[in-house]
């Protein structure tokens, strides 16, 4: 599939709403040009952030999320030369980068989104990072012979 500059036709756009692991197998192979995702980060844990007037980070969908198992299906769906951007906790980026490389991706860049509303930490006892972290990788095209 070649990149197109043609405007998107809303009549041809489809929104699939549901569990990614169940829906991804329905996406045709080499049909996606950009996968942009912000999956669970495995950062949930009991906390007392409410004492700071903030809601906590303790979600039932976060703790056991498997960071790597969905990548193979996502790779299959992507066109050669297509991009994947994965936002995640900084601690998971190394595992994600290695998994992407083993699936035939070239990991291009570590992305940083600086923001003003960081995830709360216990002030006075920890640094408070004001960034979100992501990886940008491109599915390598097979070499022409």
Ligand X SMILES: C[S@@+](CC[C@H](N)C(=O)[O-])C[C@H]1O[C@@H](n2cnc3c(N)ncnc32)[C@H](O)[C@@H]1O
Residues in contact with ligand X by CB under 6 A are 19-21, 38-41, 61, 65
* CB 39, min distance to ligand X, A: 6
Reading the block at residue 88, the tokens are 């995640």
Nearer to ligand X, 41 or 105 (CB): 41
* CB 142, min distance to ligand X, A: 30
Per-residue burial over 43-62, b = 16 or more CB atoms within 10 Å of its CB, e = otherwise: ebeebeeeeeeeeeeeeeee
Nearer to ligand X, 9 or 60 (CB): 60
CA atoms within 13 A on the CB side of 138: 8
Nearer to ligand X, 61 or 113 (CB): 61
* CB 125, min distance to ligand X, A: 24
* CB 59, min distance to ligand X, A: 7
Contact 137, 83 (CB under 8 A): yes
Beta bridge partners of 87: 134
Pick the closest to residue 111 from 129, 94, 130, 87 (CA basis).
Answer: 87
Nearer to ligand X, 40 or 82 (CB): 40
CA 107 to chain centre: 13
């Amino acid at each position: 599939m070649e990149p197109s500059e043609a405007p998107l036709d809303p009549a041809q756009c489809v929104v699939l709403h549901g569990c990614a692991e169940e829906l991804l197998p329905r996406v045709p192979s080499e049909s996606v040009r950009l996968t942009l995702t912000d999956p669970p980060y495995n950062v949930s844990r009991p906390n007392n952030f409410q004492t700071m007037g903030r809601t906590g980070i303790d979600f039932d969908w976060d703790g056991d999320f498997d960071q790597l198992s969905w990548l193979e299906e996502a790779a299959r769906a992507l066109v050669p030369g297509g991009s994947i951007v994965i936002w995640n906790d900084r601690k998971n980026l190394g595992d994600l980068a290695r998994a992407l490389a083993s699936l035939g991706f070239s990991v291009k860049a570590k992305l940083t989104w600086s923001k003003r509303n960081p995830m709360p930490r216990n002030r006075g006892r920890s640094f408070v990072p004001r960034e979100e972290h992501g990886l940008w990788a491109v599915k390598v095209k097979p070499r022409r012979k």
